[in-house]
Chain A
Amino acid sequence: MPAGDSTKDKAVKVFVQECAELLAEMEMGLLRLEKSPGDTETLNAVFRAVHTVKGASGVVGLDDVEFFAHGVENVLDRLRDGDVEITPDLTAMLIASHDMIKALVEASASPGGLPQAVASERDRMAKAFAEYCPSEKPCEFTPEPEAAPSGNPLSRQAATANHHISLRFGRDIMRHGLDPASFLSYLTKLGEIVSITALLDALPPATSFDPEACYLGLELDFSSMRDRAEIDEVFDFLREDCSVRIIPPESPVAEYLRLIQELPEDNERLGDVFIKGGALTEREFREGMRALESGMTEETAGGPQEAQTASAERGTVRVDTARLDRLVNAVGELVINASAVRQHAERLTDSLLLSSSSVLGKLVEVIRDSAMGLRMVPLADTFGRYYRVVRDAARETGKEAELIVDGGETEIDRNVADAIRDPLMHLVRNAVDHGIEPPQERVSRGKQKRGVIRLSATHAGGSVVIEVSDDGRGIDMKSALAKSREMGLAGKTEELSEAELTDMLFRPGFSTAPDVTRLSGRGVGLDVVKSNIESLRGTVELKSAPGAGTSIRITLPLTLAIVEGFLVEIGGRGFVVNMDAVVECMLLQRSERAALKIRDHINVRGKAMPFLRLREVLGVAGEEPRFEHVLVVRHEDKRVGLVVDELRGQIQAVVKPLGKLYSDTRGVSGATILGNGSVALILDVQQMVAIALEESAERIAASKEASLRVSDYPEE
């Protein structure tokens, strides 16, 4: 039963992945060419990408992709030669052809074949391209006449002109009076033994060595004019006790490899022997073994060789994401356990144990960082998609806009990167659609004709901050107010502050766009973006200056998995705060402690800051401890003192998500298991700070009201 289908599917899958990267390069290059048509290096890069797609698709048997890519390659070739001029229209057509190749790949890789719509579009494009090419050198969209080599290294014929004879003698033949040497002598009468390798792997150590037994194996390469039958005859007497295998010249590579696998000695070693003897070339052996390892057989249609060499050249490895996640999970457990070991070591005060566990801890840290690093991807990968988005959106709306990316090397957890792709796409489209003004309007406002959309990313504390900003018209606060009233979110005469209006923008169904365009403005945007980001434990903020532009800032955790934390204790329970948010910690002086009962702020080294008694906020039962401590934490520029019982120091917390029951709890973002097995909640500093500020504001408002009632002064 040929394994054909599933192995071909595998081959196609690898091709699709490789092709995606090539197509991305093609697109990038074309976008660059659009801006600078004279860039020959980029033109060459685009050509190479298409050329590789053509070759690789041919090898996996995706004809539609191959033929079309061939045509595009032709056009690019004419451009390179200078037979055709590069014009904006042609570049636009080439960009469209990239989309077509993408569509063809998708159609080929899925069941059901090529949809009629795609096929017609493809034919239309082919015709359009043909018009561009000079009649003396037309661009062919049909298959090349050149004979492509069979893509399957296993079905190819080996180059050798010799017979390969493999002999493994039976132990007793010499006792029966047969000597392998005499067979060899006889063979030399029929032809020439071009190469012989004696293998004595079966030779036992001296003590068990039986001097009358035969332990010999032979690999021969034999050149002869005699036919196979005659050569076979030579070994007739041996066949009963020995293993005799003869492979005639120019047999399929698969046969040699099959023999290699069946022989007892190590495959690599046998490979060397076969190569030395000339039965296989190094290339035939390597490619064949690779094909076998990937599950191919002689009947398989062909392998993605070009794709394979391409990735080998790039020096990277493809890893199944499920496998990666399992590894990171396991590392997480490792971190917890190493931490537990250290705690026990500290308890037992055995110095050797302590130093071992300390070394262990350091090693675990290294592994942890590596594992976490594996999950990180640079944001440039995500951001790169939006160049096209901006270009297309600009064209569709008749505006001019360009995307500038800043900080693309900033890394983020791959799961987070996947999750923000769509929200960011929406924001970028929004910026072009509603933010950037039409060119004439911009000029009349004294701006550059071309609008700029900036995507930037940086690390800040334990978070990644991504900003999408544009230099367009900004949010029209008047319309926002009108819309709020219209939607009943604000009273007819009620005035809303800028902060409140900004909040409105994130409400479902809210849109101040005068017309609903295809892209956005349907009013399903910002609220979905916000909830998506919040589900990743991130936040969204919007700032806008009328006439100048809008900026949306997204804060996301660097990683969802392991957090460097500071452990505190309240009522015997552990709570963890992200280490990056911790500013300082101290003992709460008795005088200050008493004062906190009436004051609304805490005094830290002469500075007043809001505080939270976590005991109260988190509802921890139990009596008050003898001493309390303050952990000063910060979010952006705001600082808050958290009053806790005990400070326990730094730990590594493997973040476990909270179940549905607790997911709405404010101030808590996850949980972790401590070394002693108990569960500690992870505090969300940002939310804590917000709560502290709210409480502080309430208290101030309350005291203000109280003072208002007392005095007759109007509110300031």
Chain B
Amino acid sequence: MIKTRKKKGSVTLNASGPFTVAEAAENKTKLLSAIEGANELHVELEGVTAFDTAGLQLLIMLRREADRKGVRVVISSMSKPVNEVLELYDAYSMFSA
């Protein structure tokens, strides 16, 4: 599940529950619409209970799209499952500012 908070161009996305291939299609739509009109995007993942390669791909796609639109993306928090996958792929550099 993804909850969105908007405050003057700064958008916060809070994901909770599973963030895997099963939720991927739905999540894609949510994520992309969140970027529209935003200056900044904060992604909170501390509530994510399951995370896989599909989830990682989505985040990377989000990052690329945001870069393209000139929107700053920050992953402000993450849960253990997210951490594990990022470590496995040594993918932290993909999300550094």
Contacts and interface: CB of A to CB of B under 8 A. Distances in A.
Contact of B53 (A175, A195, A206, A214): A214
A180 B57 CA distance: 12
Contacts of B85: 181
Given A174-B21, A179-B52, A179-B53, A211 B88 contact: no
B89 A181 contact: yes
B89 A212 contact: no
Interface in B54-73: 54, 56-58, 60-61, 64-65, 68
A495 B15 CA distance: 117
A203 B94 CA distance: 14
B1 interface: no
A215 interface: yes
Given A174-B53, A174-B54, A181-B52, A209 B90 contact: no
A211 B27 contact: yes
Interface residues of B, number: 23
Interface in B30-58: 32, 52-54, 56-58
Given A174-B21, A203-B64, A206-B65, A211 B89 contact: no
A206 B25 contact: no
Given A181-B89, A184-B89, A198-B89, A211 B65 contact: no
Contacts of A215: 57
Contact of A216 (B24, B28, B53, B65): B53
A188, A209, A214 interface centre (most CB from chain B within 10 Å): A209
B91 interface: yes
Given A184-B88, A184-B89, A211-B27, A216 B32 contact: no
A206 B30 CA distance: 12
A214 B89 contact: no
Main secondary structure of the interface of A (DSSP, over half): loop
B58 A181 contact: no
Contacts of B57: 200, 203, 211, 214-216
A197 B88 CA distance: 10
Contacts of A174: 21, 52-54
Contact of B60 (A184, A203, A214): A203
Contacts of B24: 211-212
Interface size classification for chain A: 20 to 34
Interface in A183-206: 184-185, 188, 195-198, 200, 203, 205-206
Nearest to A187: B88
Given A180-B53, A214-B57, A196 B27 contact: no
Contact of A196 (B60, B64, B90): B90
Interface string B65-97: 100100000000000000001001111001000
B19 to A, nearest CB: 11
A203 B64 CA distance: 10
Contacts of B21: 174-175, 179, 211-212
A197 B89 CA distance: 7
A212 B25 CA distance: 7
A211 B30 CA distance: 12
Contacts of B54: 174, 179, 211-212, 214
Contact of A200 (B28, B52, B60): B60
A491 B94 CA distance: 100
A211 B58 contact: yes
Given A180-B53, A184-B88, A211 B28 contact: yes
Interface in A152-179: 174-175, 179
A209 B53 contact: no
Contact of B89 (A188, A196, A203, A206): A196
24 contacts: A174-B53, A179-B52, A181-B56, A181-B85, A184-B88, A185-B88, A195-B90, A196-B88, A197-B90, A200-B57, A203-B60, A203-B61, A205-B64, A206-B32, A206-B61, A206-B65, A209-B28, A211-B24, A211-B25, A211-B27, A211-B28, A214-B57, A215-B57, A216-B53
Given A206-B64, A209-B61, 9 more contacts: A174-B53, A179-B54, A196-B89, A198-B91, A200-B60, A205-B64, A205-B68, A214-B53, A216-B53
Which 5 A-B residue pairings sit nearest by Cβ, starting from the closest?
A: A211-B24, A211-B28, A206-B65, A174-B21, A196-B90
Interface of A: 174-175, 179-181, 184-185, 188, 195-198, 200, 203, 205-206, 209, 211-212, 214-216
Interface of B: 21, 24-25, 27-28, 32, 52-54, 56-58, 60-61, 64-65, 68, 85, 88-91, 94
